[in-house]
Amino acid sequence: MTKPISPLLPIAYSKEVASAKQRGAPLVALESTIITHGMPYPGNIEMARSVETIIREQGAVPATIAVIHGTLHIGLEAAQLEQLAKATEVMKVSRADLAFAIAERRTGATTVAATMIAAARAGIRVFATGGIGGVHRGAEESFDISADLEELARTGVIVVCAGAKAILDIPKTLEVLETRGVPVVTYESEEFPAFWSRSSGIRSPLSLNSPAAIANFQTVREQLGIDGGMLVANPVPEADEIAREEMEIYIERALDSAERDEITGKAVTPYLLSTIFDLTDGQSLKTNIALVENNARLAAEIAVALGE
């Protein structure tokens, strides 16, 4: 399962992660792009700390992943997490440039794709995030499809998210995942969620109602020799959601302004996220933090179930 890593690769485990690996304790990976490019300071550090706490409360160990001055870190110490949350000149790294950041001794925040690669190499099977990248609206013109989808097809990590943001084309995103053989399982709902909203109007390909059932599904895939990851969609708690119709107004405006400002490539997602934060006056940030916390809890439960 786990591809061996070269002993020459500059990699560092946090104290907590190193000890968990020794004991065989359940681990949950966390990405860092959400911290550096997905949320403003200080909301980002509050979120980063609270998701780690939630994972510990469930009996698992958090491993926030990032490249710091060329070293791949699996788990960050408190001071490193704080520095990363405040830093401004951080690369956003995916499969294409994870190795570049290490080779050039840079600091890079890992996307879902890059975090999956690092987690798999470190033997971590579950990963919690907010939203995944996907097929952007207008992808038939721009060809903008996130490397996250391809990574889900290749790398055997369970990714827990709150669905896909409606800044993406959700039906096309689900089509690509189906083509690439990635199971999409919604937790305790028949409908695929749309990040800030519980509802997307789109039926989930699969659904399961317990962490144990999700763990068992992945175990059977492995028994069959099917590699690749699984996407678990966990709807935002009702108390924290923002209605779909309300979000649609902000999304349209953010997309218009991205077009006006001619934003392309990996700048698109961070640009849209920060524009929406501004348009909702921070309300979207509260929802975003609540849903990541909710995902961290479920991911930890799945990691514990995998260990049983």
Return the range that interacts with Mn ion (CB under 5 A); candidates 61-69, 121-129, 140-148, 191-199: 140-148
Residue 45 in the binding site for ligand PSU (CB under 6 A): no
Residue 144 in the binding site for Mn ion (CB under 5 A): yes
Residue 25 interacts with, from Mn ion, ligand PSU, none (CB under 5-8 Å by kind):
none
Is there a cis peptide before residue 40, judged by omega within 30 degrees of 0? no
- Euclidean distance between CA atoms 55 and 151, whole angstroms: 24
Q: Residues 6 or more apart from 10 whose CB is under 8 A from it?
A: 70, 71, 72, 102
What are the distances in angstroms from CA 293 to CA 46, 234, 297? Answer: 11, 11, 6
- Euclidean distance between CA atoms 87 and 238, whole angstroms: 33
- Euclidean distance between CA atoms 36 and 97, whole angstroms: 16
What are the distances in angstroms from CA 75 to CA 26, 68, 115, 201, 247? Answer: 13, 11, 11, 37, 34
Of all residues in this chain, which one has the CB nearest to Mn ion in the complex?
144
What are the distances in angstroms from CA 28 to CA 123, 165, 245? Answer: 10, 23, 33
Q: Residues 6 or more apart from 305 whose CB is under 8 A from it?
A: 211, 212, 214, 215, 216
Residue 269 in the binding site for ligand PSU (CB under 6 A): yes
- Euclidean distance between CA atoms 245 and 160, whole angstroms: 25
16 in catalytic set = no
Kindly state the number of chain residues that form the binding site for ligand PSU, as judged by CB under 6 A.
Answer: 18
Residue 211 interacts with, from ligand PSU, Mn ion, none (CB under 5-8 Å by kind):
none
Residue 31 interacts with, from Mn ion, ligand PSU, none (CB under 5-8 Å by kind):
ligand PSU
Q: Any binding-site annotation on 142?
A: no
Which one of 16, 31, 52, 301 is the catalytic residue? 31
CB of residue 176 to Mn ion, shortest distance in Å: 13
Paired strand residues for 208 = 187
Return the range that interacts with ligand PSU (CB under 6 A); candidates 31-39, 72-80, 172-180, 206-214: 31-39
89 in catalytic set = no
Return the range that interacts with ligand PSU (CB under 6 A); candidates 29-37, 76-84, 205-213, 239-247: 29-37
Among 36, 111, 197, 218, binds ligand PSU (CB under 6 A): 111
Residue 117 in the binding site for ligand PSU (CB under 6 A): no
Residue 259's SS3 state is helix
Residue 36 in the binding site for ligand PSU (CB under 6 A): no
Which one of 16, 21, 52, 165 is the catalytic residue? 165
Residue 260's SS3 state is helix
Annotated binding-site positions for substrate: 92, 112, 146-148
Give contact residues for Mn ion (rule: CB under 5 A): 144
Give contact residues for ligand PSU (rule: CB under 6 A): 31, 33-34, 38, 94, 111-112, 130-131, 133, 146-148, 165, 195, 266, 269, 273
Annotated binding-site positions for Mn(2+): 144
Residues identified as active-site: 31, 165
